[in-house]
């Protein structure tokens, strides 16, 4: 019977796409691979089914299954509920795969940790695939200990300085949003999930060793788990998803970049969900205009009440109404505004791009690293403020946009930071560090490089576990 690895994730792009990249790598290594995805919406004509048909067509060697949600609802608590409820269908899928092949391992996204129970019941080794970095993983793992050491009366963690062994100090305000308030149900859910990480047979991380040396060392030295034991850590990244595009489908932004001088353009893009108020969009526009630099800017419809509103593909922004009067005309020779979405990986790898204003999502960071583009950090949600600490303070490959955590980032700050990266001596040094990091990333992925070797070691562990059972 052939061996199959089952990868289990959910539909958020920042989680799904790296998992699909992992599936491709494993398939290239000769493994039979099935990807199981929990959907969050019931509509069969949804974004998920379209994404699935594209993924299946592009990856004929990989099987894809979608588990529809048992209930509907909104918010992160609901995401966890839906994923928990998917344990039964997952078990059914694993058992049906087992009829024709032997499932030698399941690899779970961190949100899908509930499935550890299913893996244990079916006696299948289980591995975590952590789609963010090792710094964030180390913080998650140590977090239950931090929580235990806090006085019971403390509800808000935001104003404390947190010390995770082996890592730089973390201001509580920089924790992921859901870990700020101890009395919220999601806080307890996350603590419970972090505590179960120790049960994994190993942890795959979408990073590479030289990018996060300190954090990887802290993890391996057992500094983060209470008992001192850490499952094996495999840094297998950067896994980056590069969509295949035909020449005639080339996005207009790439055609525009072709006409710009080398490393002259500042690219601004804020992940799959980031959007701003109208006032903030106008400040950015003014800052870009006053900087005198070339720019390529992805703009979404402004949010009024909920800055984390999911991207609505229908909501095309009305640029004339949003941006300052005359902005588009005045900047038409050196700026391009793209509505909603740009092919970020291709853009970052275009030789005309010289800087990246980013919300610090982990995939965006890896993509910028692989392209050697220096960053200006504007964290918005999830673990992005933590990522910012690492980029700015540890790696020194980025600068921070001041005011990102206040009401507004003013135009002058946008102008100053863009000029700093594009024109100053400090910017030049940061660019050189980033180029250096790019070379290390390429090195890590090469045969014999740290990430390549880590993937082989993971596969060896999976195969050895089969032999010993």
CB-closest chain residue to ligand UDP: 361
Contact between 53 and 17 (Cβ < 8 Å):
no
Q: Catalytic one among 15, 174, 350, 359?
A: 15
User: Is residue 205 involved in binding ligand UDP (CB under 6 A)?
Assistant: no
Q: Which tokens sit at 109?
A: 């996204």
Least distance between ligand UDP and beta carbon 278 (Å): 19
Nearer to ligand UDP, 272 or 303 (CB): 272
Nearer to ligand UDP, 210 or 363 (CB): 363
Name the segment binding ligand UDP (CB under 6 A); options: 140-148, 186-194, 323-331, 357-365. Answer: 357-365
Least distance between ligand UDP and beta carbon 350 (Å): 13
CA separation, residue 96 to residues 99, 103, 203, 399, 449 (Å): 5, 10, 26, 51, 37
User: Is residue 363 involved in binding ligand UDP (CB under 6 A)?
Assistant: yes
Distance, in Å, from the CA atom of 44 to the CA atom of 39, rounded to the nearest integer, reads 10
Helix segments in 60-184, DSSP class H: 76-85, 87-98, 116-121, 134-149
Least distance between ligand UDP and beta carbon 253 (Å): 9
Among 7, 23, 107, 273, binds ligand UDP (CB under 6 A): 273
Name the segment binding ligand UDP (CB under 6 A); options: 211-219, 221-229, 271-279, 284-292. Answer: 271-279
Distance, in Å, from the CA atom of 396 to the CA atom of 428, rounded to the nearest integer, reads 12
Nearer to ligand UDP, 13 or 465 (CB): 13
Q: Which tokens sit at 254?
A: 């790439």
Q: Which of residues 291-310 bind ligand UDP (CB under 6 A)?
A: 298
Listed in order, strand segments (DSSP E) in 243-303 are 265-269, 294-299
Nearer to ligand UDP, 207 or 230 (CB): 207
Has 109 been annotated as catalytic?
Answer: yes
Alpha carbon 419 to its chain centroid, in Å, reads: 27
Omega of the bond leading into 238 within 30 degrees of 0 (cis): yes
Least distance between ligand UDP and beta carbon 271 (Å): 3
Among 21, 367, 400, 416, binds ligand UDP (CB under 6 A): 367
DSSP 92-120: HHHHHHHTTSEEEEEEEEGGGGGGHHHHH
Question: Residue-wise over 58-95: b if at least 16 C-beta within 10 A, else e?
Answer: ebeebbbbbbbbeeeeeebeebbbbbbebbebbbebbe
Nearer to ligand UDP, 342 or 376 (CB): 342
Among 345, 370, 395, 414, binds ligand UDP (CB under 6 A): 345
Picking from 44, 124, 60, 43, the residue whose alpha carbon sits closest to that of residue 90 is 124
Residues recognised as catalytic: 15, 109
Where on the chain is the footprint of ligand UDP (CB under 6 A)? Answer: 13-14, 269, 271-273, 298, 341-345, 361-364, 367
């Amino acid at each position: 019977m052939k061996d199959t690895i089952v990868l289990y994730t959910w539909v958020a792009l920042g989680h799904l796409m790296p998992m699909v990249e992992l599936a491709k790598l494993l398939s290239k290594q000769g493994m039979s691979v099935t990807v199981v995805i929990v959907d969050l919406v019931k509509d069969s004509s949804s974004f998920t089914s379209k994404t699935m048909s594209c993924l299946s067509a592009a990856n004929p060697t990989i099987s894809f299954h979608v588990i529809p949600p048992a209930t509907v609802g909104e918010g992160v608590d609901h995401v966890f509920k839906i994923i928990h409820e998917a344990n039964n269908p997952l078990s059914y899928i694993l058992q049906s795969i087992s009829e024709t092949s032997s499932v030698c391992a399941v690899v779970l996204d961190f949100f899908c940790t509930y499935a550890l129970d299913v893996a244990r019941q079916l006696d299948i080794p289980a591995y975590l695939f952590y789609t963010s970095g090792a710094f964030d993983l180390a913080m998650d793992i140590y977090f239950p200990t931090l929580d235990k050491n806090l006085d019971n009366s403390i509800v808000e963690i935001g104003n404390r300085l947190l010390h995770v062994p082996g890592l730089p100090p973390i201001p509580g305000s920089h924790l992921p949003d859901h870990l700020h308030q101890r009395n919220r149900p999601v806080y307890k859910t996350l603590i419970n999930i972090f505590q179960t990480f120790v049960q994994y047979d190993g942890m795959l991380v979408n990073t590479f060793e030289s990018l996060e040396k300190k954090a990887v060392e802290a993890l391996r030295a057992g500094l983060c788990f209470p008992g001192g034991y850490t499952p094996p850590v495999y840094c297998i990244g950067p896994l980056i998803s590069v969509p295949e595009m035909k020449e005639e489908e080339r996005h207009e932004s790439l055609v525009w970049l072709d006409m710009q001088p080398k490393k002259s353009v500042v690219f601004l893009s804020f992940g799959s969900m980031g959007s701003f108020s109208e006032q903030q969009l106008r400040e950015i526009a003014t800052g870009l205009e006053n900087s005198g630099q070339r720019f390529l800017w992805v703009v979404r419809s402004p949010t009024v009440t909920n800055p984390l509103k999911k991207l609505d593909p229908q909501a095309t922004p009305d640029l004339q109404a949003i941006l300052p009067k005359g902005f588009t005309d005045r900047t038409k020779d050196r700026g391009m505004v793209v509505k909603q979405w740009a092919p970020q990986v291709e853009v970052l790898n275009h030789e005309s791009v010289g800087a990246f204003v980013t919300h610090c999502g982990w995939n965006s960071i890896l993509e910028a690293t692989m392209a050697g583009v220096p960053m200006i950090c504007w964290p918005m949600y999830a673990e992005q403020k933590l990522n910012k600490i690492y980029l700015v303070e540890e790696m020194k490959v980025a600068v921070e946009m001041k005011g990102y955590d206040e009401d507004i980032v003013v135009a002058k700050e946008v102008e100053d930071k863009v000029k700093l990266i594009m024109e100053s001596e400090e910017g030049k040094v940061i660019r050189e560090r980033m180029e250096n990091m790019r070379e290390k990333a390429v090195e890590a992925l090469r045969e014999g490089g740290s990430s390549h070797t880590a993937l082989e070691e993971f596969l060896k562990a999976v195969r050895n576990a089969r032999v010993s059972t």
